[in-house]
A and B are shown apart, each in its own frame.
Chain A
């Protein structure tokens, strides 16, 4: 089935450690996105990529990094520089910048 797969679903990390969240899509979409959601809040854009080998910062990019080496994959690294990394992270993709967005099931990161 076509869709977006995020892994892991749950992740625990000690302070000071980097962690990478995986996002893979088989929808043949050009655009991919990472959002962060805090409890009781809406979604905020971290990074997005409209095409392979190119990506742009969103509203809250500090402390995060991404890569887009393949069309299907858009991993997000939460670095030790991110001051409040505990959150729900959602990956999404669309056929283009104004296309309908589809989301993965999310990854819950907890920093101990």
Chain B
């Protein structure tokens, strides 16, 4: 099946800083999603983005399907942005496969 790799595994920022999270995938994708897992374990949908660029407030995402990667940008980070960010992709097997996540800590 498709392989999904995320980097970096851990990221510590000062409040107000910008960051970029990366997701590489091993095959062409039908679905690419970014999630934020809050401290209570709930997965919050950020973007459904198999290709192209989307923006939602301070967050934006870009997927370059031909080069098999996606980027999540967080601008002017806040302490509430802390948590784990997951990328997940569906390939030809049509099962959503998750990366191992990026643990983001935003310090006040």
Contacts and interface: CB of A to CB of B under 8 A. Distances in A.
B75 to A, nearest CB: 23
The bracket for how many chain B residues form the interface is 20 to 34
Interface stretch (B55-63, B66-74, B86-94): B86-94
Nearest to A37: B41
A100 B31 contact: yes
Contact of B98 (A42, A48, A88, A102): A42
Nearest to B41: A106
Contact of B88 (A88, A101, A102, A108): A101
Interface residues of A, number: 23
Which of A33, A35, A48, A100 is packed against the most chain B CB atoms within 10 Å? A100
A103 to B, nearest CB: 4
Given A42-B99, A43-B98, A98 B42 contact: no
Contact of A105 (B42, B95, B101): B42
Interface in B1-25: 1
A16 interface: no
A111 B1 CA distance: 31
Contact of B30 (A42, A44, A98): A98
A93 to B, nearest CB: 12
Interface in B26-69: 30-31, 33, 35, 40-43, 45, 48, 50
Interface string A23-59: 0000000000101010001111100100000000011
Contact of A48 (B35, B40, B95): B95
Interface of B: 1, 30-31, 33, 35, 40-43, 45, 48, 50, 86, 88, 90, 94-101
